[in-house]
Amino acid sequence: MSIRERFSGNEAVSIAIKQINPDVMAAFPITPSTEIPQYVSSYVANGEIDTEFVAVESEHSSMSACIGAQAAGARSMTATSSCGLALMWEMLYVAASLRLPITMPVVNRALSGPININNDHSDSMGARDTGWIQMYAENAQEAYDNMIQSVRIGEHKDVLLPVMTCQDGFITSHAVENINILETEKVKAFVGEYKAEKYLLNPEENISMGPYDISAYYMEHKYQQAVSMENAKRVIAEVASEFETLSGRKYDFIEEYKMDDADFAIVIIGSSAGTAKDAVDELRNEGIKAGLVKIRIFRPFPAEEIVKALKNVKVVGIMDKAEGYSNNGGPLGAEVKAALYGNVTGVKAVNFVYGLGGRDVKIESIKTVFEQLLEVDKTGKVPAHYQYLGLRK
């Protein structure tokens, strides 16, 4: 039986970490993720968990500490945001290439510069090709549930990859919501004990980690990572199915909202999906067949699911909370268009960049996107350039 509580997204994630009780938590504070390790350190100080909390001097060091601990056979976690994630850049690749299933909540915040502490997805989107699995939450409930599932996913023998569980800074991280949490005993049983097959402190087997891959081996190493990311799709689905049995909450790679007969749809990630659903409801009341596809898993990218969801729409708006600087739109726009290319015909796509640096996104903002989609359908003309939503005149 689940327990009804009121938590912010950060506290919800910290509760999940407390219930999992990892072996090591290494962390350095950065807004707006600071609360997560702060809560965890208090659980350790109060004797509620026996996690080894490592206070380090930088985010680069926190990931390095997690890599060392996980390589030694310990279940390890950290949390970060924005420039902290960027400071880890080098070590993100190392963690993935060593096949170390570290789990890391990322509380999304704009990257400097200019300096900004509010939400967009430029931090995690910048790390999208580092070899980490990426999960995104719409609200505190999903942030909690994703955190629990991420451990099982990353540690699966066919995956063994690190996992980012992302949520929107301040919007979900600091807003308090009613959520349902599981009993700690059930969480512990669900994630199980971490038993590394290969680890540095195993006295029965001498191994090395972090070898130099000469050109005769490097490409095969990268291929193995790609195979693991492909395997992750199956494992993510299996873990979600088990989690539904445990919690009653169903998760998939994407969420389709009123897509059965939609002529016009948007694809979106994170907390803005909640606002967009309200906009879809209003448009439906006005007689417009609007729909929404929310991305929950961005890596591995759910191309097949996207194609299936969008194959019958007339026009789709792809919403990016990050600038790609390709002069062709944002990263989500590139991924969705690539998925559609050659797999569907007749679907027109328009890419929108929105909400950068915490720019407010209202129901009216989303409705203006749909207005542009209707105009594309009416005229048959797709804008040659991607659109910025809500720029000040």
What distance in Å separates the CA atoms of residue 16 and residue 145, rounded to the nearest whole number?
8
Q: Fold match between 3-247 and 254-388?
A: yes
pLDDT of residue 1: 60
**Can you read off the two tokens belonging to residue 281?**
């409801």
DSSP 290-306: EEEEEESEEES--HHHH
Q: Which residues of the chain have pLDDT under 50?
A: none
- pLDDT for the residue numbered 122: 98
Look at residues 28, 36, 38, 32 and name the one whose alpha carbon lies nearest to residue 119. Answer: 32
Phi, psi for residue 180 in degrees, rounded to 5: -105, 120
Can you read off the two tokens belonging to residue 335?
């991924």
Which of 175, 176, 167, 376 shows the shortest CA–CA distance to 273?
Answer: 167
C-alpha closest to that of 242 among 145, 141, 165, 154: 145
SS3 326: coil
Domain boundaries, the chain: 3-247, 254-388
CATH annotation of 3-247: 3.40.50.970
- The model's pLDDT over 135-155, given as tens digits with 9 standing for 90+, comes to 999 999 999 999 999 999 999
CA–CA separation, 214 vs 216, rounded Å?
A: 5
Q: How far apart are CA 78 and CA 67, in angstroms?
A: 10
Contact 329, 318 (CB under 8 A): yes
CA distance 378 to 11: 47
- Which pLDDT value is given to residue 384? 85
User: Fold for domain 254-388?
Assistant: Rossmann fold (3.40.50)
